[in-house]
Structure formats: structure tokens, C-alpha cells
Amino acid sequence: MKGVEWLVLILLLVLLGCSEDSPVKTQQPPISVDTLYTSSLFPIGAAIDPNYLRSTSSYHTVVTREFNSISVENAMKLGWVHPQQSVYSFTDADYIVSYAQANKKRVHGHVLVWHAFGDVTWLKNFSGDTNDWENLLKDHIQTVVTHFKGKITGWDVVNEAFHDNGQLRNEDTNLNDASDDGSIWMRMLGTGYIERAFQYAHAADPDALLFYNDYGQEVNVAKLNAIKAMVKDFQERGIPIHGVGLQMHIGLNTPDAGIVKAIKELAETGLLIHISELDINISNWVKNPDLKLTEELKQEQKAKYKSMVLAYKQNVPAAQQYGITTWNVGDADSWLRSFHQPNEWPLLFDDVYKPKPAYYGFLEGLKE
Ligand code: G3I
């Protein structure tokens, strides 16, 4: 071989030695990295958007690395899976479930019955008697639960049935405030729609864990008490309920005392406890177009995430720890950016999925 050929051969060998799956590379000791779920004794979840999961590789990577439970942010809601009265469509929801199965993640289904079903024209225009509405409720729940039978660990069966004052949503009390909306289910079917929703879901999949899910229990004692009373009543009458979800859309200033009280008192029911939609907003719900994410606020958010995790660990017995789920992954994915204000940073990862101080606060809470 000529000198130049030797040179080419040597270069080729060097290049092969550095390729992706070369023995040289795989012989490196694995880098030990703690992730959220590998640092936790209970499941750590995120609410997932199927479009981001499909199209954004950094989103896919972070979800796969950090979480072992997947909640479905929107894709199992009535408007998504039941777009016409006689049409069901599970494409997006199935995509999430397939991803979860392929990656060994638990799936938490959200949500079977909610007063806020958005622009579902057919349902808004649905006219029928009590019987028709009951059949509609039953058909919806049982078709969806049966479709996912055996693939979904738990379901949010009924979501946000109570007003903050502890009364069941009924009529719309304030047309300018969506949080005060009434419930068509209550108006058409009366109080019993809640327990029947649980019974219908249980009949369709007796192995699924069934949750009641609501927000603001940490700040509205009347609502917390109403939910506890409903749970107690269900338990006494044998209505199948296995868990309560505290959504926990909170702000930096939400008092820790209320958070601890709600978690502790709900855990006393003996049911599973899910922090089901956690995010911690910087603005404390005050619209402020000049708000900036300063280093100080980042550290405050870090401390709040840590205290949230500790409140859960310290007040929920291990056997009742269904897990903590954040409501999506990166700040830019958060519902708060569109529903509240664009300059919000409520989650654990920034807009490009880099872990924020909040992430490290969460991790510290898990490890402490
Ligand atoms: O996907 C469509 C898009 O095609 C369309 O162009 C666009 C125009 O409006 O809408 C997009 O859908 C939006 C969807 O979010 C996805 O971004 C819907 O309009 C919007 O209503 C929907 O909002 C969701 C909201 O629930 C209402 O369903 C939020 O993402 C979701 O985070 C929020 O989640 C709720 C929980 O289910 C219950 N607890 C409170 C929580 C926060 O509000």
C-alpha cells in the first residue's frame, strides 16, 4: 500500500471507532442522571398534547425521560372523542395511549363528564327529555371507557361539579365569568348524575380507578367540605369511587397552609390522592403585561414546587399516593399563556424544554 492509502485506511478506522454505536462509545460508563420519575416513589405525570408529541422531538424526549404517567390534556374530552352525536373518533387519544404503552407509561384518562364541553354544537343543540339525556351520558361514558378498557389505569370521571361556594353547578350564575358556569348535566339530570357517572364507568371497566377531580380545594373551604361530604356519602352507599384529584392550578402566593389542609383532609377519606393538574403561576392570577421572569421569581417558584412535593409526601400515606401530574411540560405549552396572559412561566421546563429552577426544586422535594 502506498503512503496515501495507509493514511486513508487509518482515517477510516478512526472514524469507525467514533461512530454512534462503536464499542469505544458504548464502553464509556453511563452518565448517572436523576430524572423526576426515577427519583420518585410515586408516579410523576404530565398532561400531554398529541400534536407536540408527534411533531416536537424535544417535547417527546423530555416526556419520555422525565415522566412515567401520562394524563391526556384534551384529547379524551367529549369534543375530541365524540364530535357528532353518533360519531366517536379516537385518533389523537389512541396515539397517546400507543406512545404510553410503547414507553411503559401509565395513562390517566381525562375526562368523562365536565360541564365545560366547549363548542360541541351537537350537544349544545341536543334536545330531549330526561331519559334521552341519561342515555346520552351513559352512552358517552361507556363507549369511551370500553374503547380504552385495560389500557387506562384511572379516569377523571366527573370534573368540577361544584362551585367555589360548595354548591353544585346548576344554572349559569355569571355569564361573564366562565369559572362560574352552570352544568347542563345537573340541569337535565339532577344531583344523581355524578354517582351514576361513576357507576356507568365502573360497569364498563371494573378495573379502572375512578376519580373525582376539581380545582381550588386549597383555597375554598366550602368546596373542599362539599367534596369530602360527597366522597363520604359515596363510600357509605357503595358508589365506586377510588380517588380524588386536586388540580392545583396555584400561584406563588397560594398559602401553603391551605394546600396542606386540603391534601391532608382528602387523604383522610382513605382514597387515592392525585395532584392532577399542577402548575404554579408567577403572576398570582393578576394580569400584568409588564411581568418579567426575574431570577428572584424563578427561585420563589423553585421553593414553591419543592414545598408542594413535600406537602404531598408528608400528608398522603404511601398506599394512597397516585402521583403528581403537571399540566403539560414546557411553559409555552401551558393553558395559562392563552387563558390568562402570554407572559406566564408556570411549569418545570422553559419554552425550549430546558429544566428551570422549578424543576430542581421539584427534584429536591422528591429526594428529601
Ligand atoms: O386544537 C385547536 C386548534 O385546532 C384551533 O385552531 C384552536 C383555536 O381556538 O383551538 C385549539 O383547541 C384548543 C385546545 O385547548 C388546544 O389548545 C381549544 O380551543 C381550547 O378550548 C382548549 O383549552 C383547553 C381547556 O382545558 C378547555 O378544554 C386547555 O388546553 C386545557 O389545558 C384546559 O384544561 C383544563 C382541564 O381540562 C380541567 N381543569 C382546568 C384545566 C385548565 O383550564
Phi, psi of 246 (to 5 degrees): -100, 115
Whether the CB-CB separation of 272 and 211 falls below 8 Å is answered with: yes
22 has a pLDDT exceeding 50: no
Cα-trace Rg, the chain: 23
pLDDT band at 17 (very low <50, low <70, confident <90, very high): very low
Integer Cα distance of 347 and 359 in angstroms: 8
Across 113-122, 209-218, 230-239, 282-291, least confident range: 113-122
Of the pLDDT bands very low, low, confident and very high (cuts 50, 70, 90), residue 175 is low
**C-alpha cell of residue 292:** 418579567
254: left (phi over 0), alpha (psi -120 to 50) or beta: beta
Range of weakest confidence among 8-12, 268-272, 360-364:
8-12
Orientation of helix 193-204 relative to helix 130-147, angle to 10°: 40
Q: Which of 49, 52, 54, 74 to mutate to test the pocket of ligand 1 (most atoms within 8 A of CB)?
A: 74
pLDDT at 31 over 60: no
What is the DSSP code (8-state) at residue 29? P
pLDDT at 24: 38
Tens digits of residue pLDDT in 59-106: 999 999 999 999 999 999 999 999 999 999 999 999 999 999 999 999
Give the distance (Å) from ligand 1 centre to CA of residue 74: 6
**Among 275, 360, 270, which residue's Cα sits nearest to residue 311?**
275
237, 280, 282, 288, 341 from 291: Cα distances, Å: 50, 15, 9, 6, 10
Choice among 134, 160, 195, 218 that is catalytic: 160
pLDDT the model gives residue 21: 39
Sign of CA dihedral 18, 21, 24, 25: positive
Quote the distance between the C-alpha of residue 368 and its chain's center.
24
| pLDDT above 70: percentage of residues in the chain | 90
* pLDDT score for 171: 87
Mean pLDDT of the chain: 92
Nine-digit cell string for 337 = 399563556
| 152 CB-near residues (< 8 Å, 6+ apart) | 97, 107, 108, 109, 145, 205, 208
For residue 232, the SS3 value is: helix
Q: Is the pLDDT of residue 28 over 60?
A: no
Q: How confident is the model at residue 264 (pLDDT cuts 50, 70, 90)?
A: very high
Residue 173 has pLDDT above 90, yes or no: no
Kindly give the distance from the C-alpha atom of residue 335 to the centroid of ligand 1, in angstroms, as a whole number: 7
DSSP bridge pairs for 211: 156, 243
Helix or strand (DSSP H, E) at 321: strand 321-326
Instruction: Judge whether residue 191 has pLDDT over 50.
Output: yes
Quickly list H helices, the chain: 3-17, 23-26, 50-55, 57-66, 78-81, 91-102, 121-124, 130-147, 184-189, 193-204, 221-237, 256-267, 295-315, 335-339, 357-367
- Atom of ligand 1 minimally distant from the CA of 110: 37
pLDDT higher than 60, residue 25: no
Q: Is the CB of 74 under 6 A from ligand 1?
A: yes
Do 111 and 213 touch, CB atoms closer than 8 A?
Answer: yes
Measured CA to CA, the distance from residue 260 to residue 13 in angstroms comes to 61
Q: Is the CB of 285 under 6 A from ligand 1?
A: no
Residue 367 near residue 353, CB atoms below 8 Å = no
- Ligand 1: does its nearest atom lie under 6 Å from the Cβ of 276? no
Does 296 have pLDDT greater than 60? yes
Question: 32 falls in which pLDDT band (50, 70, 90)?
Answer: low
Establish whether the linkage from the previous residue to 111 is cis, with ω within 30° of 0. yes
Does residue 335 have its Cβ closer than 6 Å to ligand 1?
A: yes
Averaged over 259-270, what is the pLDDT?
98
Task: Tell me what pLDDT residue 29 has.
Answer: 46
Catalytic annotation present for 160? yes
Q: How many CA atoms lie within 13 A of 117 on its CB side?
A: 26
pLDDT band at 26; cut points 50, 70, 90? very low
* C-alpha grid cell, residue 252: 406563588
Residue 214 has pLDDT above 70, yes or no: yes
Of 192, 200, 189, residue with least CA distance to 234: 192
Ligand 1, from 71, 117, 120, 335: best to mutate by most atoms within 8 Å of Cβ? 335
Buried/exposed code over 110-130 (b: 16+ C-beta within 10 A; e: otherwise): bbbbbbebeebeebeeeeeee
Mean local confidence (pLDDT), 247-263? 98
Which residue of the set 73, 277, 300, 344 is catalytic?
A: 277
Model confidence band, residue 13 (pLDDT cutoffs 50, 70, 90): very low
Separation in Å, CA 347 to CA 217, 231, 359: 20, 30, 8
pLDDT of residue 42: 98
**Least confident range of 9-13, 251-255, 269-273:** 9-13
Share of the chain above pLDDT 90, in %: 86
- How many angstroms separate the Cα of 140 from the Cα of each of 16, 121, 124? 57, 16, 15
Ligand 1 site, residue 281, Cβ cutoff 6 A: no
